[in-house]
């Protein structure tokens, strides 16, 4: 038996951190949406009782350092599974980019293994389990557009993102999420208007969504990395309706309504950055269910 799954990347339409909690995490309010830039996973039952991870990309570990491996092991141990699996991971999403690439792979692995090993777990059960290995995996399990609270693992589904073009630019800089959160000065940042963002999504109003985008982590990553700031400015100069950094960065994205203008932003950015993508929101929410 073989299962093929797509694992889409996400962008943050807003990211607010409210306060630092006693467990060291930040209490957050995030509006996120999946985009049609996706990794592909193939899962296959094997005769031996082990997890074999085969990664089709350079410099990505295939052992316990990979969230896919951790997810498979977690499911196997928790439900005492006496079967194995070979998981082939074909990476398309940039790594350490603020696009939840590792988390979406782990989410797809949980869904696929639930089916392969016939565990019959609900999405809610998988989401609860996933929080043990990462805050963003729960969102990736649901996909579409959602409001994430808690440390990011409490998910409330929202209506689909209105149709638009999304241009992503990933500078070749490595960002450590824990250090960005560590340097965040909550009393100095401008907090996004999350209520307005939620109302914009509910109304399917792209102008309101563009106007209420905000990410508190920009205050750290943009200030320390002028290249990221420059890419955001260029997006706006080339005609983006809105531009912002996703997650802790370094990827920045532009939202553009019109195709011709989106093409202009895409072509213009390619002169400044080697990794540029033009995608759409991922609204096919049924694909991995
Ligand atoms: O949950 P995850 O492993 O993805 O988080 C990575 C790191 O980001 C955490 O160890 C923490 O330093 C920081 N973080 C945080 N508050 C959150 C999510 C992540 O401070 N809500």
CATH number of the domain enclosing 152: 3.30.230.10
Residues 144 and 211 grouped into a single domain: no
The answer to whether residue 287 sits within a structural domain is: no
Average per-residue pLDDT in the chain?
A: 96
Residues 233 and 95 grouped into a single domain: no
Phi, psi of 184 (to 5 degrees): -70, 130
Task: Answer whether 101 contacts ligand 1 (Cβ < 6 A).
Answer: no
Residues 211 and 261 grouped into a single domain: yes
**Residue 237 CB-density burial (10 A; 0-12 exposed, 13-18 middle, 19+ buried):** exposed
pLDDT digits (tens, 9 = 90+) for 6-38: 999 999 999 999 999 999 999 999 999 999 999
The answer to whether residue 205 sits within a structural domain is: yes
Is the CB of residue 41 less than 8 Å from the CB of residue 112?
A: yes
Question: Which pLDDT value is given to residue 1?
Answer: 86
Is the CB of residue 32 less than 8 Å from the CB of residue 12?
A: yes
Counted domains in the chain? 2
Task: Answer whether 178 contacts ligand 1 (Cβ < 6 A).
Answer: yes
Is the CB of residue 139 less than 8 Å from the CB of residue 155?
A: yes
> Would you say the C-alpha torsion 165, 171, 177, 182 has a positive or negative sign?
negative
102 annotated to a ligand binding site: yes
In the reported structure, the alpha carbon of residue 25 is separated from the centroid of ligand 1 by a whole-number distance in angstroms of 6
14 annotated to a ligand binding site: no
Residue 288 has pLDDT above 70, yes or no: no
**Residue 211 CB-density burial (10 A; 0-12 exposed, 13-18 middle, 19+ buried):** middle
Residues 201 and 271 grouped into a single domain: yes
Residues 75 and 200 grouped into a single domain: no
Write down which residue in 158, 176, 205 finishes a domain.
158
Q: Which of 103, 116, 114 is nearest to 124 (CA)?
A: 114
- CA–CA distance, 59 with 13 (Å, rounded to integer): 29
Domain range enclosing 90: 2-158
Residues 130 and 52 grouped into a single domain: yes
Residue 4 has pLDDT above 60, yes or no: yes
Atom 11 of ligand 1, residue of closest alpha carbon = 178
Residues 134 and 34 grouped into a single domain: yes
Residues 62 and 36 grouped into a single domain: yes
pLDDT digits (tens, 9 = 90+) for 110-159: 999 999 999 999 999 999 999 999 999 999 999 999 999 999 999 999 99
Number of residues that this document lists for the chain: 289
More confident residue, 288 or 230: 230
The answer to whether residue 288 sits within a structural domain is: no
- Determine the 3-state secondary structure of 276 from DSSP: strand
Task: Answer whether 175 contacts ligand 1 (Cβ < 6 A).
Answer: no
The answer to whether residue 185 sits within a structural domain is: yes
The domain spanning residue 265 has which CATH number? 3.30.70.890
Is the CB of residue 153 less than 8 Å from the CB of residue 131?
A: yes
In the reported structure, the alpha carbon of residue 178 is separated from the centroid of ligand 1 by a whole-number distance in angstroms of 6
Residues 114 and 194 grouped into a single domain: no
Residue 51 has pLDDT above 90, yes or no: yes
Is 10 part of the annotated catalytic residue set? yes
- CA–CA distance, 215 with 12 (Å, rounded to integer): 8
pLDDT digits (tens, 9 = 90+) for 186-224: 999 999 999 999 999 999 999 999 999 999 999 999 999
């Amino acid at each position: 038996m073989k299962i093929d799954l797509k694992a889409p990347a996400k962008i943050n339409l807003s990211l607010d951190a409210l306060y630092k909690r006693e467990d060291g995490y930040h209490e957050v309010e995030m509006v996120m949406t999946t985009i049609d830039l996706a990794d592909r996973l193939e899962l296959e039952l094997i005769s031996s009782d082990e997890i074999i991870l085969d990664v089709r990309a350079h410099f990505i570990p295939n052992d316990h350092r990979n969230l896919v491996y951790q997810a498979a092991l977690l499911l196997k141990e928790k439900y005492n599974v006496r079967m194995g699996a070979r998981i082939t991971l074909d990476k398309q999403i940039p790594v350490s980019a603020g696009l939840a690439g590792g988390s979406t792979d782990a989410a797809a692995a949980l869904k696929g293994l639930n089916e392969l090993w016939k565990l019959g777990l609900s999405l809610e059960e998988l989401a609860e389990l996933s929080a043990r290995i990462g805050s963003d995996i729960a969102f990736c399990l649901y996909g579409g557009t959602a409001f994430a609270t808690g440390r990011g693992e409490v998910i409330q589904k929202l209506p689909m993102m209105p149709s638009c073009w999304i241009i992503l630019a990933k500078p070749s800089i490595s960002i450590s999420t824990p250090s960005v959160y560590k340097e965040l000065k909550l009393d100095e940042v401008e907090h996004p208007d999350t209520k307005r963002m939620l109302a914009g999504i509910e109304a399917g109003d792209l102008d309101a969504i563009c106007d209420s985008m905000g990410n508190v982590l920009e205050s750290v990553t943009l200030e320390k990395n002028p290249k990221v700031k420059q890419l955001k400015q260029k997006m706006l100069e080339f005609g983006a309706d809105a531009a912002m950094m996703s997650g802790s960065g370094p990827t920045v994205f532009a939202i553009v309504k019109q195709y011709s203008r989106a093409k202009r932003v895409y072509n213009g950015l390619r002169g400044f950055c080697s990794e540029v993508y033009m995608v759409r929101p991922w609204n096919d929410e049924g694909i991995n269910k």
